[in-house]
Structure 1
Amino acid sequence: MTLNIFENVDRPNPSNEELNTQRKWTRAYVVVLIIIIASVIYITMLSYRTDTTTLEKPTLDVYAKLPKSADCFCTNLSIPYHTFVNFNPQLHEVCKNHFIEPDGEWMSLLYDSYEDQRHNKRNLRTFQALTTNWHPVVAHEATSGWIYMQAEKYNLSSCNCATMPGCVEPMSLELNTGSNWTVPGMMIGCLPLESMLESTLECIYDQYCLNTITQIFLAESIQPLFSTRTRFKPINTTKLTTIASELFIEDWGVEFIYEKYFASCQPKTCSYVLSERF
């Protein structure tokens, strides 16, 4: 490189040592100049200019075209949910079926047609109002005897109502033939509530199960539910406690109507910031 921008005009014939020094300074100057120019270009490329735009009372069509970063402030700060939310929950089929009709066949089976007062733990109704979970036991000795109370036991005597009120075991009925039949999905136990929650709705989906029950107590059959209409599956293992925890709701049926929300909001202003490079 022979470029020399630091040449001394007063000395047209400098020595070689002086000429080399001038050329070194020239090279250093060129390198520094290139670095400065590149830095300026790079900084300029990264520099943005921000512009804030504010719109007064925008319509829904205008709002839909705004950037997602736009901030809008509602005129009405408190908006009732019912103005923009439609709520139409769909209940489990058992909640709107003949199984809960006050004058229906199933309710008649449970309350009217079968007035059995026997203290039988396998009673179809399993109502503990008719009996108790404790019973006296008499122990006889040679000269004296004493009575103590013993808690009812379920599930092959491995579960004691005194310590575990949630004890349950499958329910069975005595058929007209004299044999015992286990009712699918239905449980009995220490408390009616625990028995119900630990049971499934398998039987009321099964025509054979309903026919077997109605043949004992009713002269006519009861139609089963449709398993295709429920989300609580499998029906033979989904307990009532699971369905009850979901409030027997198949579908919440929630619909948000944004147009109504926007109309209730009535935005005063909408503002957004746009950034662009120089």
Structure 2
Amino acid sequence: MLQHRSITASRNVFFCMNPYRKSVINTLFRCFLSVACYTLSLSQLWQKLSSAVRDFNLFPSTTPSTDEHHLRNQRISTRIFIILLTLSLTALISYISLINVTQTIYINSPTITQYSQLYSTYPQTLTCACTQVSISYDKFLQVNYKLHQICASIFVTNYWISYFTNARGTATLNGDDFRASGSFIFQALNAFCQLSNQTISNRLIQFYSSQYVTVSVTPLEVFQSQTQAFVSQFISSTANNFILSLLIIRNTTQSNGLLAGQLTNYGLYRQSNNYVTSSSYSYNNCSCASSATCSYQFPIYDSKNSKVIFTVPGIYIGCYIIEALLQSNLQCFYNKTCINQVQSYFTKYLSMNLTTLDSSLLIQFGMNSTMQELVDELMVEEWNSSTIYDGYYNECQPSKCSYSYQTKNDAIYIITTLIGLVGGLITVLKLTVPRLIKMMRRKKQIITPQMGKL
């Protein structure tokens, strides 16, 4: 009776406990049950998964079979198939991802700015086809030249040339006196200036009409080097042709012994019987009959006793005016003192203010450069050429440009390539793996009994 009451009392105590403690106990109890259930479900899931993997078969028989040997072959074939497929796909993905591929980009009608930017980035692969293949030089090339300053000076003008006639007075002068024959030197000098200028102008017309043929756009650096070569060839060929023509004339004149218009190479004498004879002149023991280049420095004589009172520095007189001029130089005309000295032998009242040549303007030549050296260079002190790349590009009018570069395959390409290959790979593996496994296990069955007998 007492025991029953104590039990009843304890139950009453339990049920009269704090509701919070009661909920905690219930929660713990439920957690214990859930953990036990979760462990049990994991164990069952693992058993099912293991069984499914063990019994997984991609090569079942057309009719269900209970032969354990055949089932074993099919399971082994399935595992080998999955392994080989995984390895093959891994190898393909690695290969396709790592190999370099060439990507080609096309641009329609690019501007010269776009072309320059593309060329700076892809100089080796950029190609732009020209719409117009043949282009005249005058569209992209300009050649300018500056003749020697003597050609723009007063010394080649009619004013200076006529000065010799007007300022020498009425005195009787020797034929080789500078005041008598010096005008011929400057007339010849003027002729060389005009002839050089005319030759260059005519050749430039031909040069500009030449055609530059190009299938694709030429890069700026290459284009500039090519145009400089064109200009250099033009200058050298023009000078060579000019020199050759002049040389032919000089040799023809000398070899035929032609009489100089100023009678500086032969003298004509009338005999008593009205016959006219000729006699060659000599200059410094050099006979004009044997050489056309005989010459000596241009003298100025004293009109009273025919003695040489001055020789013009750098200026020569000889068998032919042209030959003497080619041996002369212009050093006297850079010097104000020399010019004044020459003028002092002319009449005082016709003296003129002459501007000397400026030595600071000399670029290619020097003050002592001979006229032969000037003529060999077409009397040109300086050549200037300019290349107009924009003009060339606009005439070329590229309709399309293409460039290529090395890159890796992107994810889309890799996926599409694998999709294209995986079907064939699966088919090959499905045909070969089961047969290989079947053949290998059959050999094993044959060899094993034989080994047991041994």
Residue matched to 1:152 = 281
Pick one of 114, 128, 131 that aligns with 1:72. 128
Q: Which residue of 2 aligns with 1:10?
A: none
Query: Per-residue displacement from partner, 1:68-94 (whole Å, max 9, x unpaired)?
Result: 333333222232333323333222211
> Counterpart of 2:301?
174
The answer on 1:212 being equivalent to 2:341 is yes
Q: Does 1:263 align with 2:394?
A: yes
Is 1:89 the counterpart of 2:145 in the alignment? yes
What is the match of residue 164 of structure 1?
Answer: 291
Unaligned runs of 5+ in 2: 1-98, 185-259, 270-275, 410-454
TM-score (ref. length: structure 1): 0.66
**Mapping of 1:90-105 within 5 angstroms?**
90-102=146-158, 104=159
Stretches of structure 1 that go unaligned for 5 or more consecutive residues are: 1-46, 138-146
Shift of 1:115: 7.7
- The DSSP-based 3-state class of the residue aligned with 1:180 is strand
**Larger helix proportion of the pair:** 2
Q: Is the 8 A contact 2:264 2:320 kept in 1?
A: no
Q: For the Cα contact (< 8 Å) 2:295–2:316, is it kept in 1?
A: yes
- Counterpart CA distance in 1 for 2:359 and 2:116 is 43
1:108 to 150, 158, 162: 162
The equivalent of 1:244 in structure 2 is: 375
Distance 1:107 1:148 in 2: 32
The separation in 2 between residues aligned to 1:163 and 1:169, in whole angstroms, is 16
After superposition, the Cα gap between the structure-2 partners of 1:179 and 1:245, relative to the gap in structure 1 and judged at 3 Å, is: closer
Structure 1 residue 226, shift from structure 2 partner: 0.5
* Count of residues in correspondence between the two structures: 219
Report the CA distance between 1:251 and its aligned residue. 2.0
Compute the displacement of 1:200 (Å): 0.6
Measured in 2, the distance between the counterparts of 1:115 and 1:58 equals 75
1:190 to 319, 329, 334: 319
Native 8 Å contact 2:318 2:324 kept in 1: yes
2-side partners of 1:101 and 1:193: how far apart? 18
Match of 2:34 in 1: none
The 1:200/1:132 distance shift into structure 2, 3 A limit, reads: closer
Q: What is the deviation of 1:60?
A: 0.8
Report the residue type matching 1:256 in the other structure.
T
Post-superposition Cα deviations, 1:206-256, rounded to whole Å, max 9, x if no partner, equal 1111111111224233121111101244312x1112112222222222211
- Name the CA distance, whole Å, in 1 between partners of 2:108 and 2:293: 64
Secondary structure, counterpart of 2:289 in structure 1: coil
Task: Identify the residue that residue 224 of structure 1 maps to in structure 2.
Answer: 356
The answer (yes or no) to whether the contact 1:214–1:222 under 8 Å persists in 2 is: no
Tell me the distance in 2 between the aligned counterparts of 1:174 and 1:183. 11
Determine what percentage of the aligned residue pairs are the same residue: 28
* Alignment CA distance shift 1:132-1:168 (3 Å): closer
Q: C-alpha offsets along residues 109-140 of structure 1, whole Å, 9 cap, x if unaligned?
A: 23543488855234442555232422479xxx
Q: Which has the higher strand share?
A: 1
Write the deviation string for residues 164-219 of structure 1: whole angstroms up to 9, x where unpaired: 21222211212689652121110111111111111111111111111111112242
